Amino acid sequence: MKDSWRRWGAWLALAIVFSIACGFLSNWQFNRRVEALAKMTQLAKNYDAVPVELSNLEYRPADEWRPIKLTGHFLPENTLLVRNRPLNGNPGYLELVPFQRTDGLIVAIEAGWLPSDEKLNPPTIYPQPSGDLQTIWGRQRPSEPTLNRDAPSGQIATINLPTFLKKVGIKDRAVTSFYLSLGESNFAKNGLPRLLSKPQLDEGSHLSYAVQWIIFAVLAFSALAWAVRQELRLKRMAADASYRPKTRKRVGDEDKAAEDSL
């Protein structure tokens, strides 16, 4: 019996460790759901707001998708294509162009999506904005992380703004923490570059996953209790030949017993 208690204790410890792990995983899924809901709320709040003048040069998460307007001119000679940007299952690129405000400040503008050719190569000819004085607006997006890898001439791996500015040779008075996704184009031809549409965000399956991890933790203790009960029952049967475990009576058992006695 002492050995049994030791074995059950070890299984109990394992069940406790497993349930703690399930608790952490469940909490992680709950937190991911909270983050997803926050992004959905922020998108709904900012996306269709009235464009405002750029006032803060540092990126704030609360400002993502907020429409910003700028007055100045594009620098089309410094256009780069962002690689590996599929849209609706079609391979393509994003057009990234610097825009210089009238006070000299430079902001990167993602001007839309361009399809690859049949061999997945970037387009060689595509519409570019003019360098004339104009007012534009776009939605604020954070600078992307770098992949620490180079790209062919005229291209860039991600919208990492320090990398972008370095590659086009811009050093002074440039925003490096965010870029603007163009909200309205005056130079697109035949629908290209295609402006990116509003993202369709949802909370995902985080809630169901969180509940599943809780259920797994409960099942671990339930399985342990069932195993201990079964082992005790078998030991009692081995020690007492007259012992028989109680079984639940099913509907109709009494009638069947009465018939058998006839």
pLDDT digits (tens, 9 = 90+) for 51-82: 999 988 999 999 999 999 999 999 999 999 99
Per-residue pLDDT at 167: 93
Same domain for 69 and 167, yes or no, is: yes
pLDDT category, 94, cuts 50, 70, 90?
very high
> Does residue 190 fall inside a structural domain?
no
Instruction: Kindly report the pTM of this predicted structure.
Output: 0.73
Sign of CA dihedral 134, 164, 87, 193: positive
> Does residue 188 fall inside a structural domain?
no
> Does residue 192 fall inside a structural domain?
no
Judge whether residue 243 has pLDDT over 60.
no
Rounded to the nearest 10°, the torsion over CA 55, 59, 63, 64 is 130
How many of the other CB atoms lie within 10 Å of CB of 217?
20
Q: How far apart are CA 113 and CA 192, in angstroms?
A: 7
In Å, the largest CA–CA distance within the chain is 107
Per-residue pLDDT at 244: 60
The helix, strand and coil proportions of the chain, stated in percent and rounded to the nearest 5, come to 40, 20, 40
CA distances from residue 181 to 93, 141, 260 in whole angstroms, order as listed:
14, 7, 83
Q: Which of 33-47, 73-87, 93-107 has the lowest mean pLDDT?
A: 33-47
Per-residue pLDDT at 104: 96
Over range 243-257, report the average pLDDT: 58
Judge whether residue 240 has pLDDT over 80.
no
| Cβ contact 155:93 at 8 Å | yes
> Does residue 91 fall inside a structural domain?
yes
Q: How far apart are CA 229 and CA 241, in angstroms?
A: 18
Judge whether residue 31 has pLDDT over 80.
yes
| Cβ contact 82:156 at 8 Å | yes
> Does residue 197 fall inside a structural domain?
no
Judge whether residue 107 has pLDDT over 60.
yes
> Does residue 199 fall inside a structural domain?
no
Per-residue pLDDT at 259: 56
Q: Which of 8-17, 92-101, 126-135, 199-208 has the lowest mean pLDDT?
A: 199-208
Per-residue pLDDT at 232: 79
CA distances from residue 260 to 50, 191, 255 in whole angstroms, order as listed:
85, 85, 9
Q: How many domains does the chain have?
A: 2
Judge whether residue 196 has pLDDT over 80.
yes
> Does residue 39 fall inside a structural domain?
no
Amino acid at 247: T
Name the nearest CA neighbour of 220 among 35, 13, 70: 13
Same domain for 149 and 62, yes or no, is: yes
Judge whether residue 189 has pLDDT over 90.
yes
Per-residue pLDDT at 2: 60
Per-residue pLDDT at 260: 57
Judge whether residue 262 has pLDDT over 60.
no
Same domain for 141 and 57, yes or no, is: yes
Can you give the residue range of the structural domain that contains 143? 49-182
> Does residue 191 fall inside a structural domain?
no
Judge whether residue 37 has pLDDT over 80.
yes
